Amino acid sequence: MKKIAPYLILFLCALLLWDVLFTFGDASFHIDGEEFDGPLGAMFGILLAGGGTLIGLLVTLVVGVVLAVVFAGVGVVIIGALAIAGVAVLCAIVPFLLPLLLPLAVIWYLVSRSRRNRVVHKPAV
């Protein structure tokens, strides 16, 4: 059985290939009440199915490009609106933050002064 199995599988594949390539007679479809069958009908059906697939692919690509452009434009508008709102909120809050900024400025000055003194007193090598 082990010696005959490859030949049997090859024969079955050849039969399947023969059936796929040379038997179109059982395919039929209807367009406006007319029935198309036989090899030319099968070829016409494959052509129409492939054309529909290509049209669907084209429509999908166009919709993807349009959505990318629209969402990118909407994203730019939203980022701009958020930036303007942030500046407006910052302008409204700055007077209230002044008591917090004064101690921060003093600490910053003291740290920078001590850092400057360390850099100046460094011995030369």
pLDDT confidence of residue 59: 94
pLDDT confidence of residue 124: 60
pLDDT per residue over 4-22, tens digit each? Answer: 988 999 999 999 888 878 7
Domain ranges of the chain: 5-116
Percent of the chain predicted with pLDDT > 70: 87
How many C-beta atoms surround the C-beta of residue 52 within 10 A? 10
- Residues 53, 56: Cα–Cα separation, whole Å: 5
Res. 117: pLDDT tops 60: yes
Q: Are 36 and 30 in contact (CB under 8 A)?
A: yes
- Residues 17, 13: Cα–Cα separation, whole Å: 6
